[in-house]
Amino acid sequence: MTKSYLSLELIDKTFERGGTRTEVLKHVSLSVDKGEFISIIGHSGCGKSTLLNIVAGLTQATTGVVLLDGKVVDEPGPDRAVVFQNHSLLPWLTVYENVRLAVDKVFSATRSKQERHGWTMRNLELVQMAHAADKRPSEVSGGMKQRVGIARALAMEPKLLLLDEPFGALDALTRAHLQDQVMQIHATLGNTVLMITHDVDEAVLLSDRIVMMTNGPSAKIGEILDVPLARPRRRIELASDRTYLKCREAVLKFLYERHRFVEAAE
């Protein structure tokens, strides 16, 4: 277990507020290999975002440990780049400057100014946003903002890419387009990815494995589903693929039959 690239070991998280303890996560253990694409799916309030924040280092686990590439994770850092649900671009910087800020920070010592400029542009090209480099976030669409957020994360060359419901706020067409782009990037760069989602199709389409969380409080991993679909995957062909449908059914069954009693969304 400790041999894997990323491993979460017996993560517990309790929040304490005004004398009342809420146990959010209980005994969450997971190991992820290098280059794997893992989705974490569950109902609202099941603590999946908390789990991602713990891996990102933005929240501390109460007990348990996260190991990435043999090192303990105890603070946020650019080796675990996060793509936030609401893109979190700095509105006073241009698209280019937003990515450049990350590039400058991570590669200030190792790359020349010229190289950092080139690397910034390469990552913008990777998400097809180079044409809007000088625009401000408020001047581009929601999907474009999220693409810049992805470019910013990729530009840090993270060991682990964390996606926190990255397409949740987008319309269906834009979402599909971005999912395809993420698949393509994953195929090209071979990143290790941990993605939070509540979209069953998205999880099946993108993931190698789907981690299904039980409902909170005291959420734990209910089941891990392997998605044995060959890559590259094409959404139209998969729509009638039997393995795809089976995986989809398994996730739906887990979410809506075995764990359908949802506490009021947080």
**Interface contacts to another protein, rule CB under 8 A:** 56-58, 75-78, 80-82, 84, 86, 88-92, 101-102, 105-106, 135-145, 156, 170-171, 174
Q: Which residue has the tokens 């995986």?
A: 247
C-beta of 156 vs 182, nearer to another protein: 156
C-beta of 24 vs 83, nearer to another protein: 83
The DSSP H or E segment spanning 182 is helix 172-189
Walk across the sheet containing 63-68 and list its strands: 20-32, 6-17, 63-68, 71-72
Give DSSP secondary structure letters for 85-134. Answer: TT----TTS-HHHHHHHHHHHHHTTTS-HHHHHHHHHHHHHHTT-GGGTT
Beta-carbon contacts of 239 under 8 Å, excluding residues fewer than 6 positions away, are none
C-beta of 55 vs 121, nearer to another protein: 55
Least distance CB 245 / another protein (angstroms): 30
C-beta of 73 vs 255, nearer to another protein: 73
Least distance CB 1 / another protein (angstroms): 27
Least distance CB 253 / another protein (angstroms): 34
Using an 8 Å Cβ cutoff, are 37 and 195 in contact? yes
Least distance CB 148 / another protein (angstroms): 11
Neighbouring CB atoms inside 10 A of 227's CB total: 22
Using an 8 Å Cβ cutoff, are 95 and 118 in contact? no
C-beta of 97 vs 241, nearer to another protein: 97
Exposed/middle/buried for 265, CB within 10 Å: 0-12, 13-18, 19+? exposed
Neighbouring CB atoms inside 10 A of 81's CB total: 25
Tokens standing for residue 165 = 């419901």
What is the sign, positive or negative, of the torsion defined by CA atoms of 77, 78, 83, 88?
positive
Least distance CB 107 / another protein (angstroms): 12
Least distance CB 145 / another protein (angstroms): 7
C-beta of 23 vs 79, nearer to another protein: 79
Distance of CA 8 to the CA centre of its chain: 15
C-beta of 67 vs 101, nearer to another protein: 101
Least distance CB 158 / another protein (angstroms): 9
C-beta of 42 vs 137, nearer to another protein: 137
Least distance CB 83 / another protein (angstroms): 10
